[in-house]
Amino acid sequence: MTFKRQSLGKKGEEIARSYLEKQGYTIIISNFRTKSGEIDLIAKDGEVLVFVEVKTRTSEQFGSPFDAVTSRKRGQISRVAMEYMVNNGGMDQPARFDVVAVRMTENKPFVEIVKNAFELSW
């Protein structure tokens, strides 16, 4: 991954984090990593544990940010989420997967969220 893409992704995650906090989410951890992969943000929305995938784009030339969350990516996020819940006592609480799209425009970023974007998958 190029430095430019990494910087864009990091900026998108910062924007998404701020947006979610304004929506009432409490961020627990950013960039949770295991051997299975990474989850961009883990948060609480009320009593619900939320695993958030953030996708940032400068254009839709290669599809929408939501298109980038493929079945393979959903499986990877699901595995990491299960590891988090097993190791952090989250198996007894409701959980969901949200996807946040950040579109960087000239004026200001446009943020869109899909709550409960997908089900647990392997």
One-character DSSP codes across 92-114: TS-EEEEEEEEE--SSS-EEEEE
Least confident of 7-11, 51-55, 97-101: 7-11
pTM above 0.85, yes or no: yes
Specify whether the CB–CB gap between 66 and 118 falls below 8 A: no
pLDDT winner (highest mean) among 5-19, 34-48, 81-95: 34-48
Domain extents in the chain: 3-118
Class of domain 3-118: alpha beta
pLDDT in tens, 35-72: 999 999 999 999 999 999 999 988 777 777 788 888 99
